[in-house]
Chain A
Amino acid sequence: MIRFLRIAGKRLLGAVPSLIGVIIVTFLLSHALPGDPAVLFAGPAADAASVAQVRAHLGLDHSLPQQFLTYVWQLAHGDLGQSLTTGQPVMTDLLQRLPASLELTLVALIFAIGVAVPLGIWAATRPNSWIDHLCRGTVTVAAAFPTFFIALLLVYVFYFLIPLAPEPVGRLNDVYFDAPTTITGFYLIDSILEGNWQTFGGALAQIILPAISLGLFALAPIARITRAAMLQSLASDHVRTARACGLSRRRILITYALRNAMLPVVNVLGMVFSFVLGSNVLIEDVYGWPGVGAYAVKAVISSDYAAVQGFILMMAVLYILLNLVVDLLSMVVDPRVKFEG
């Protein structure tokens, strides 16, 4: 346990340089590029007075290192600037919308992993059979669909043509359902905690299509890496021994082969997270999802730069945290990682 904590601490420290890098890049993106950052932050409709005000607030008349210190100082106080479109602090805006995006992202990940890992295992148990080819073909085709296109296609087919799904109006259709009281901010969890199954059903029905759109692309990398890792694992000596000892098929597959194959799968999740977090931007608008992605798109279109910058920073921090969680998880899944760390 102490060993676990020590390595966990080391991993946590390992994330610090990434965090510093992320802060420097977001700073450079706005402050060190050609063009006047004051004009950028003040927005397209600003007059000379508000540009001057922004310039003073960001300390833009000082040197670049000094500006950076001002930026870090403001960050440390949770100040991401004011949004021009909502008139609120960007931090407030983002925190208010974050649970919606996080819930969608997590459900999409559960969908992707829940479908792709069994698919990969299935393909690996019958390599080069028609099942294997079918699995590979399906995930390859799925990976070719742009997230935003699949989102529109699903809405068109499952709402407009065959009305199976509810109207894509966000997290909950508030004509029929009341939003659950905020405990975690996740509608699915909050409604269970309240015991309100009707709302749970409503929220679940709303999240299915966007989660599938978001998770579909991730099927291919996860399924293919699972297949490859399982093939290797199934060919190993310990699996042969287990077979020779007459253990059940299920036991061999799950306990012996899968646990040994999990490490490459966990490693590919980093790329999957990167993709899923980024794609929120593309599909939230389609489903009227009130998350940070839709907020960022609006900000980009109306040149609300403080909001864009805040969003980028928040997503990068989230991504680093998610990777950290996976890192720690992989230590639980595979004790060998502890000794390498």
Chain B
Amino acid sequence: MSDTSLISRTRYALSENPMTLLAAILFALLIFCAVFGPLMAPYSPLLTNEGARMHPPSWLHLFGTDALGRDIFSRVLIATRLDLGMAISAVVISFVIGTALGAMAGYWGGWVDAIFGRVMDTIMAFPLFVLAMGIVAALGNNVTNIIIATAVINLPFYGRFARAEVNVRRDLAYVEAARMGGNGAVRILWGHIVRNILPVMLVQASLNMGWAILNAAGLSFIGLGVRPPTPEWGIMVSEGASYIFSGEWWTFVFPGGALVIAVFCFNLLGDGLRDIVDPRRRT
């Protein structure tokens, strides 16, 4: 696609769906917080303050303080990096491995495809969050394993998608021509096929980001992976849950709200990107 058509299509998609613009602004804000959050935070996220326990939101503490007197605003802000970091790492891992495996299965077919299909089916045979929980419980309780677990359960989305996309392209004339020109399988796959499916794969990735965030935060919420006192949205919601019946709403509403904004942003962004790259798939 030429640059002008991309720009005009982007403009069309934005005018059709102005929410995409909102998503882009939220996205910029999230990335800004992830990068500069630790510099901007007014308090240290671990600094306890006996004299300021459970203060409601005020100008001094925008989001209030928790049971140990820690500033919730600083903790929510600083957690952005960890939460987005976990989700992005997981999505990148499953994107790269899933696309590579799926592309090979779709290109070669035969027993490679059969084994690939079996493995993907087996992952999909589990309720995915339950499988992620099992992986973290077995591998050990730390952040790396949350990322691995989230990557594994998302593998089939990329793998199956890439397989289907490569499968319809492998016998097209331009691929045939590349083969006749003496290109090897790897070169054809990477240079001629995978590059063509990258845009649609990236749409999948951004649609998948919100789910990866929910998944990683969910694992921390039930006590897996991230350990207190590390600031992380899921674990902060779970810590705040104990104060729900005494009315200290700010302890869980702000970190939960941050999660909602992040997931909402990536879901909208994925939808918007899909409208630009692949309008026919719109639902």
Contact = CB atoms under 8 A, between A and B. Distances in A.
Nearest to A167: B245
Contacts of B263: 143-146
Contacts of B140: 35
B122 A29 contact: no
Interface residues of B, number: 50
Interface in B117-131: 118, 121-131
Contacts of A319: 125-127
Contact of B267 (A30, A143, A285): A143
Interface string A210-233: 000000000000001101100000
Contacts of B244: 152, 155-156, 160
A225 B134 contact: no
A140 interface: yes
Nearest to B129: A278
A305 interface: yes
Interface in A3-46: 17-19, 21-22, 24-26, 29-30, 33, 35, 40
Contact of A315 (B118, B126, B237): B126
B264 A141 contact: yes
Nearest to B261: A144
B43 to A, nearest CB: 24
A25 B237 CA distance: 32
A149 B240 CA distance: 10
B267 A140 contact: yes
B118 A282 contact: no
Contact of B245 (A160, A285, A305): A160
Give the one of A19, A30, A315 with max B CB within 10 A.
Answer: A315
A312 B130 contact: yes
A26 B126 CA distance: 10
A217 B253 CA distance: 18
Interface string B205-225: 000001000100110011110
A275 interface: yes
A225 B283 CA distance: 6
Contacts of B259: 146, 149
A287 B129 CA distance: 19
B139 interface: yes
Interface string B247-283: 1010011001001110110011001000000000011
10 contacts: A22-B126, A30-B138, A144-B263, A149-B237, A149-B252, A153-B253, A228-B283, A300-B223, A308-B137, A316-B127
